[in-house]
Copies of this chain bind each other. A is one copy, B any other.
Amino acid sequence: MDFKTEFKPLTVQPQEIESKSFEIITEELGEHPFTPEQYPVVQRIIHASADFELGRNIVFHPGAVEAGIEAIRSGKKIVADVQMVQVGISKPRIQKFGGSVDVYISDPDVMEEAKRLNTTRAIISMRKAVREAEGGIYAIGNAPTALLELIRMVKEGEAKPGLIIGMPVGFVSAAESKDELRKLDIPFITNLGRKGGSTVVVAAVNALAIMAEKKA
Could you tell me if A171 and B20 are in contact, using CB atoms closer than 8 angstroms?
A: yes
Point out the residues of chain B lying under 8 angstroms from A120, CB to CB.
Answer: 11, 13-14
State the interface size on chain A (CB cutoff 8 A): 52
Residue of B nearest to A87 (CB): B83
Is A51 an interface position by the 8 A CB rule?
yes
The one of B4, B17, B171 in contact with A21, judged by C-beta atoms closer than 8 angstroms, is: B171
Point out the residues of chain B lying under 8 angstroms from A197, CB to CB.
Answer: 48-49, 199
The one of B10, B17, B148, B169 in contact with A148, judged by C-beta atoms closer than 8 angstroms, is: B10
A130 CB to closest chain B CB (Å) equals 16
Contact mask for chain A residues 51-65; partner B; CB cutoff 8 A; 1 contact, 0 none? 100000000000000
Contact mask for chain A residues 76-89; partner B; CB cutoff 8 A; 1 contact, 0 none? 00000001101110
Could you tell me if A21 and B51 are in contact, using CB atoms closer than 8 angstroms?
A: no
A4 CB to closest chain B CB (Å) equals 7
Output the residue of A24, A84, A86 with the most chain B CB within 10 A. A84
Could you tell me if B87 and A145 are in contact, using CB atoms closer than 8 angstroms?
A: no
Q: Which of A1-51 contact B (CB under 8 A)?
A: 3-4, 7, 10-14, 17, 20-21, 24-25, 47-51
The one of B3, B194, B198 in contact with A199, judged by C-beta atoms closer than 8 angstroms, is: B198
Query: Which 10 A-B pairs rank lowest in CB-CB distance, beginning with the nearest?
Result: A50-B194, A21-B171, A10-B173, A24-B171, A17-B172, A83-B87, A84-B88, A50-B195, A197-B199, A20-B172
5 more A-B contacts (CB under 8 A) besides A51-B195, A84-B84? Answer: A3-B152, A3-B156, A51-B51, A84-B87, A198-B199
